[in-house]
Structure 1
Amino acid sequence: MSESFGELLRAHRVAAGLSMGQLAKLIHYSKGYLSKIENDLKPPTPTVARLCDGVLDVGGLLVEAATRGPLPGDVRGLGRRQVLVAGTMLGVGAFTGGARTVPDEQVIVGMRTSFEQLRGIGLHASPHVVLDPLHALQQTVHGLARENSGPVGDRLLQLAARIAEYTGWMCQEAGDEQGALWWTRHASELSRAAGDPDIASYAFVREAGLALYRQDAAATINLAQQAQWIGRAGSRVLALAARREAQGHALAGDRTAAERAFGRAADQMESAVDGPYPVLGSTAPDPLELARGWALSDLGLNTEAAELLERQLALVPATSRRTLARFRVRQSLALALSGEVDESCRALAAALDDAAHVDSATVRTDLRQLARTLGRWHNHGAVREIYPDLRRQLSHR
């Protein structure tokens, strides 16, 4: 199989009955840019490859083609699953050692339990505490998946994909955006190889979250919308994608579009059923309403935002320190923006201990915005009292 990515793309586009302009519109890129890729004048990015693969419904062939390059040995004759599982594009080290027996159910459950334990630690500790163990566990599970075919191999691949996705989130929390993108895309490719469409779509939700923290409303909306129409994700992933889209609309100031997206998210979440693998995204009791509180603040409705967040935070368990830190800081910001300075400082005081424990780069982004807002009342007694603790938190890294 010697065809280039551009040749394959052209063949599948023509077979689908689409003009280059029509395909460009469907993936939200320009016709000129797509023409350069199809004529092999530009290499495809992983995102473009995934988008074209999903729109043309070619089962990962274009994703595979995009991975080709200066690889050790000749892998061009390998199938999609072999290329992805081998980890050639993703840079995962080989699982060394002699031949291993097929892991039984107890082994697989044990590895999943290890992952769940690390996720539990990640709820209330610095991401740096769990990143190295996550790397080691993901490599072990991925290595076993490479050595086992059939249902066992696919189950291991799905678990490896879940671990990779969570590793990407911890990288984001540690302030490593490039690492977050790398691990998220790694997870997407593993899930495609295992026939699990959820993470392939959820990768766009994660990237939309990065755009949200950059205050890029258009990219947040676009990526979240792509997550909803590419592939065949389950209801929970579609709900989380619609939630992120709603946050993008709120950031852009469009309340009507935000409410529509939140409505779709609620409908999808109602029909969501937990599968055999750890759930994706927030484990908060009601992640949609917490996000709605955040969105109300972005829409300038800060009194409503603070009241909603107060109600929802009361439902979050004390062990979920990362969630508590993030949304208590958001509540404090909403209160400050609505002029409730004393209440803002009280909410901030409750958030700082959790923020110190979870050591979150994204929470510090919100704390910096909060510091600028409270700085308008620098002579206020409550602000003077809390500001030294706030400065210490911001100077932590």
Structure 2
Amino acid sequence: MLGVVLRHLRTQAGLSQRALGRAALYDHTRICRAEQGEILIPVEQVQALDTALRASGLLVALRAAADAAPVSVLSAGQAGIHDGEPVMLDMQTADGRTVRVTISRRDFAHLLATGALGSVLPALGNTEEAQRVARAIDEPARVDAQVIDYFRRVLAEHYAADKMLGPRSLLRPVLAQIDVLDELRRGARAAQVEPLLQVLAQYAEMAGWLHQDLGEVHAAMTWSRRAAEWAQVAGDDQMASYMLVRQANIACALTDDHPAVVQYAAAARRKASGLEPKLVALAAQQQARGLALLGEYAKCFTLLDQAGQTLRDHPEVTEPHVPVYLHHYDLDTLEEQSAACYRAAGRADAAVAILERKIANLAGNLTRDHGHLTAKLAVAVAQSPQTDPDRAAHLGHQALNVARQTGSARIRRELRTLDMELLERWPGHAEARVFHDALAAA
């Protein structure tokens, strides 16, 4: 990891290995070997390199971590890992600065296997597990349940990180791990193929979600369909039905095909007797959203009541390997999602009350989620009979800052709705005009 980051920082600074060696008074041939992962540079020289590259202690911290970490050797050749788009990792320096490090997918697979990505991904549990995953990536026939469980844990961490970071920081690591898993699938023993396909389907769903949050319709649908295909091949009926809900969500969020929202969601819960109850509730909630957008409010709120009763009867998932989102789907989430139905039904005041409660109870580190809820609250305030354009515009500015930071197109979509509401209801309002200009410039 030290070599990868050293090479990135040197390249970013526009320095050759020889020029960096002169600046840090260190042999450039040893810089070359360090960048290739062949040697560890002594601590004193790392400090000089860190200073020369203005790395704010990042190289020093990585060097210290290298002394503490177990060594795990992996062969240089990583067959099947594509050298396509690189992976970007955000690393924190001691003074709080973020350094975005760009590495190849091949290097990413290697570092993932050796447990060297603990600062940005979950660390492997122990040295034995690190060696097990490393051997499996080098020889896919060695894949076993423990290796597959590791990738499940990483995926769960991605879902947690998404609420904080948004799609921009997570998409490339997720796509790179799909490459790794797909290569493992090609060489795994028959008994491990279906479990690998189940995990692949969940990673592909995550890729579809991240593309959706970026506003990329075609890529979101492509990855969602691939997830559905892998789920079907694996015989994972839960995931296959969940992907119908996801496609309903994409139709709602990106294409405004409201009949498709209802149709996909209804299909997802058609055979409810064999499905995870939380999935049935989620499908009902998504169908209710579509019905609200079509003006069928009575049916909408009947379905929301049914979803609520199902979640009260089944507060926990029935088995551990259902789609990750369902582990966190509960009555609180259902209430938050119902705000959109109240808004569509002309009850913006009810939506305001719900969203204010959710924001007040949201953990402070969930940056992307906070921005999205704030944008939805801004729209509800603008649509409320209690006229307060100043507050709506102020909330809009807050959400716009998060949209810039995370790259979330979902936040921007809400803010475009807010902009139209403000300009329509208060065309000459000064704060509304300032917000309009800020959104246009972002």
Question: Do they superpose with TM above 0.5?
Answer: yes
Of 137-146 and 289-298, more deviation after overlay is shown by 137-146
CA contact (8 A) 1:321 1:355 kept: no
1:134 lines up with 2:174 in the alignment: yes
Q: Within 2, Cα distance between the matches of 1:315 and 1:97?
A: 42
The aligned residue for residue 344 of structure 2 is: 298
2:429 corresponds to which residue? 380
CA distances 1:59-99 after superposition (whole Å, capped 9, x unpaired): xxxxxxxxxxxxxxxxxxxxxxxxxxxxxxxxxxxx99985
Quick check: 1:334 aligned with 2:366? no
The answer to whether the aligner puts 1:102 opposite 2:146 as a matched pair is no
**Contact 1:284 1:316 (8 Å CA) reproduced:** no
Q: Percent same amino acid among aligned pairs?
A: 27
Whole-angstrom distance in 2 between the partners of 1:303 and 1:353 = 25
TM-score w.r.t. the length of structure 2 is 0.62
* Corresponding position of 1:359: 407
Partner of 1:222 in structure 2? 263
Higher relative contact order (CA 8 A, sep 6+): 1
Indicate conservation of the 8 Å contact 1:123/1:358, yes or no.
Answer: no
1:97 to 1:367, Cα distance in 2 relative to 1, 3 A:
closer
- Residue number in structure 2 paired with 1:267: 309
SS in 2 for 1:280: helix
**Given the superposition, is the C-alpha separation of residues 137 and 108 from structure 1 closer, same or farther in structure 2, using an over 3 Å criterion?**
same
Q: 1:151/1:313 Cα in 2 relative to 1: closer, same or farther (>3 Å)?
A: farther
1:190 matched residue in structure 2: 230
Provide runs of 4+ in structure 1 moved above 6 Å.
95-98
Q: CA deviation at 1:150?
A: 5.4
Q: Name whichever of 97-106 and 319-328 sits farther off.
A: 97-106
CA contact (8 A) 1:246 1:259 kept: yes
Q: How does 1:164-179 map to 2 (within 5 A)?
A: 164-179=204-219
User: Could you tell me which residue of structure 1 aligns to residue 185 of structure 2?
Assistant: 145
For residue 272 of structure 1, report the CA deviation from its aligned partner.
5.2
Moved more, 252-261 or 112-121: 112-121
Matched with 2:391 is 343
Shift of 1:361: 1.9
Q: Cα deviations across residues 133-168 of structure 1 (Å, max 9, x unaligned)?
A: 212211222332343345533322211111011111
The secondary structure found in structure 2 opposite 1:181 is: helix
C-alpha separation in 2, matches of 1:203 and 1:301: 30
Which residues in structure 2 correspond to 1:101-120 (within 5 Å)?
101-120=141-160
State the one-letter code of the partner of 2:324: V
Change (3 A) 1:190 1:362: same
1:264-305 deviation digits (Å, cap 9, x = unpaired): 222333315333335236957622111111111111111111
Q: How far apart are 1:318 and its partner, in Å? A: 2.6
CA contact (8 A) 1:245 1:258 kept: yes
Q: 1:259 to 1:313 in 2, by over 3 A?
A: same
AA aligned to 2:363 is P
| Mapped pair 1:370 → 2:413 | no
Report the alpha carbon displacement of residue 343 of structure 1 after superposing the two structures with TM: 2.6
Pick closer, same or farther for the CA change 1:305–1:198 going to 2, 3 Å: same
Distance 1:97 1:348 in 2: 46
Given that residues 251 and 257 in structure 2 are in contact (C-alpha distance below 8 angstroms), is that contact kept between their aligned partners in structure 1? yes
Contact 1:184/1:206 (8 A) holds in 2: yes
After superposition, what is the alpha-carbon deviation per residue over 1:8-64, rounded to whole angstroms, capped at 9, x for unaligned? xxxxxxxxxxxxxxxxxxxxxxxxxxxxxxxxxxxxxxxxxxxxxxxxxxxxxxxxx
Q: Deviations over 1:316-354 (max 9, x none)?
A: 223333322222211111111123212312322332222
Contact in 1 for aligned 2:396/2:418 (Cα 8 Å): no
| Shift in CA distance, 148/233, structure 1 to aligned 2, threshold 3 Å | farther
**Residue 282 and residue 259 in structure 1: after superposition, are their counterparts in 2 closer, same or farther (change >3 A)?**
farther
Moved more, 169-178 or 343-352: 343-352
1:227 counterpart letter in structure 2: A
Q: Any unmatched runs of 5+ in structure 1?
A: 1-94
Q: Which AA in structure 1 matches 2:185? A: A
Report whether the alignment pairs 1:250 with 2:292.
yes
Aligned amino acid, residue 269 of structure 2: Q
8 A Cα contact 2:137 2:180, kept in partner: no
Do the aligned partners of residues 114 and 384 (structure 1) sit closer, same or farther apart at CA in structure 2, a change above 3 Å counting? Answer: same
* Aligned-partner Cα distance in 1 for 2:239–2:379: 32
Give 1:390 deviation, angstroms: 2.9
| 2:320 aligned residue (276, 282, 287) | 276
Cα separation, 1, equivalents of 2:396 and 2:209: 24
**Residue 312, structure 1, aligned to residue 352, structure 2:** no
Matched residues in 2 for 1:331 and 1:133: separation? Answer: 31
CA distance in 2, matches of 1:106, 1:204: 30
What residue is the counterpart of 1:75 in the other structure?
none
> How far apart, CA to CA, are the structure 2 residues paired with 1:188 and 1:153?
16
1:230 CA displacement: 5.0
Structure possessing the higher radius of gyration over alpha carbons: 2
Q: Could you tell me which amino acid in structure 2 is paired with residue 261 of structure 1?
A: L
Mapped to 1, the partners of 2:279 and 2:290 lie a distance apart of: 17
CA distance in 1, matches of 2:179, 2:278: 27
